[in-house]
Each structure stands twice: as C-alpha cells, then as structure tokens.
A = this chain, B = another copy of it.
Amino acid sequence: MTIVPGFTGSLLDRADAARHDTALVAAMRADPQALLLCLDDLLPFLTDSGTLGWRSVPHDPHEVELAFLGQIAGRPRFVALTPGVSALRRSPELFAVITALPPAEAGTYAAARSLVDWHARHGFCPNCGSATGVFRAGWGRLCPACGAEHFPRVDPVVIMLAQHGHGEQARVLIGRQPGFPAGRYSALAGFLEPGESIEEAVARELHEEAGIRVHSVRYMASQPWPFPSQLMIACVALTDDDSLVIDHSELEEAKWVTRDEVAAALAGDPRAPFLPPPPYAIAHTLFGRWLAER
C-alpha cells in the first residue's frame, strides 16, 4: 500500500534565486560536474540501478537550449528544451518506466517533463501572437514584442472519494472512464475552475459526474502529475444520500465499495470487485490513506 504520493520526494534543490542570474547559470552549465537529464522524446532512461539517467552537458551553449532544473548532490542539473516533443504524450512504455522509478526519481522527472512539454507547446505569446524566447534559465518565456512574461502552467485537479456511512459501514464511490483498462476503477476527478475553492470544486465535480451532494470536504494528499502538468489534490467528502445519477459522457460506470473491498483491491486480491489505480497515482494514495484511518 503506497502512502507516500507518487512523484514526490525529489532531491532536487530548485535554487530558484539562481534563475535570475544569467552569469551564474552559464557558469553552472560550464561546470564539468553539471549533468543533463537523458530523455528520448519525453521518455526517461533508467540506469541499471533503477534511477534516472544523466549525462554530461554539451559544451556548445548554442547546440541546444537548456533549462536549469536545480541541483542534486551539489551538481547542477539541466534538461534540454527540445522542440517538437509533445507528439509523444503517454505510452505503455512510459508508464512501465514510471512504475519502475522510485517516487523521488519520478518527481525529478515530473518537473523536467512538465517544463519541456510546456515550452514545446508555448512558443508564442498568447497576448499578442509573437514568437517568445526562453528566460529565467528556462522557467519562463518572454515576449519581445509586448513584453508579457509567461510562466509554466500548473493546472489544479481535484480527485476525491465521496463517503457514505461511517465506521465499518462506510462505503466510497469509485468510477471508471471509458478508456480505463478492463476492471480498473479510480476516484472521481476533474479540473478546478477559476473562481472555485478546492472544497467547491470537489462538491461540483461529484454532483456533475455522479449526481450526489456532499459536505465536510477533507483534504488528504497532493502530488504533481506530469501529463502534462497537473497538481492533483486528493480529498474525501461525506454524503448523506447514496443515490447516483451518472453522467455517462464522463463516466462509464460508478459504484459504492466497502472498506474491505478497497483493502482487497489494494492488496491485489483476485476476488476484489475492482482493479485499483497504479501506485504512482494519487488515487492509490487516497485509497490507502482512507483505509489507514480505519
């Protein structure tokens, strides 16, 4: 049972202040100790010891545009801002690699991947349409025409269990989207919108997707999700009425499951009524922490 959220615990010291110091970043790039994250399109390489692969930084500063990720173990870390990477978004191979990575290594990858993907899809100024350039050591883009500064997006997503009943009678609502692998169910989720609190987004999504009204929304955990760049915010909310009205444009099916059924699913019991989300997904953490409150 994974209680530490996936993609968290990165050893990266982002050294944010250094991003403003062009000379310092250039010196770190020239440092023979500096390392570049190995990526093939957006796919990471695993070393024999199961960690992320890094290589030395190219000498010619014009060869490839780099972003300064920060430092790990005192060594400057960079990633190449390769254009045209956004074609590869997700693949079975990618998720096999992520499954094999420790959460902390996956967290470093998440930061790099979200940043590279954002640059690849944000070469132009949304304010005036001009081509923009990289600034802040890769953590922003500047428009030379209108002067607008643009920073990488992080889209907050709420993901939640509605709970009906208490104690050993408690059940939570799980659902499956049409594209899920056979048998897989997860917590319901949706993007938080402008003008909403976390608690309001949780209540709205549960009402929209499953027709239920909730109260007492309780924060449980968070994680980054780099496909392309979400902040997953996991919550539990209580409902007094378990009747469902499913929005079938969002969900193929939704159902209530007991604590024992969730425990069986997380334990990989073949008699469990559903297959759980993978350990690196916050929904897995959410199920685990909810069970741990027993």
Known A-B contacts A16-B208, A121-B148, A208-B16; A193 and B127 likewise in contact (beta carbons under 8 Å): no
A residues 168-197 near B (Cβ < 8 Å) are: 191-197
* A124 near B121: Cβ-Cβ < 8 Å: no
Q: Interface 1/0s, chain A 134-161, versus B by CB < 8 A?
A: 0000010000000010111111100000
Q: How many residues of A contact B (CB 8 A)?
A: 60
A residues 93-140 near B (Cβ < 8 Å) are: 107-108, 110-115, 118, 121-131, 139
Per the bound structure, the CA–CA distance linking A208 and B221 in Å amounts to: 23
Minimum CB–CB distance from A30 to chain B (whole Å) comes to 25
Which of A4-12, A45-53, A286-294 forms part of the interface with chain B? A4-12
Minimum CB–CB distance from A76 to chain B (whole Å) comes to 17
Residues of B within 8 A of A115 (CB): 194-195
Residues of B within 8 A of A8 (CB): 197, 199-200
* B124 near A195: Cβ-Cβ < 8 Å: no
* A231 near B156: Cβ-Cβ < 8 Å: yes
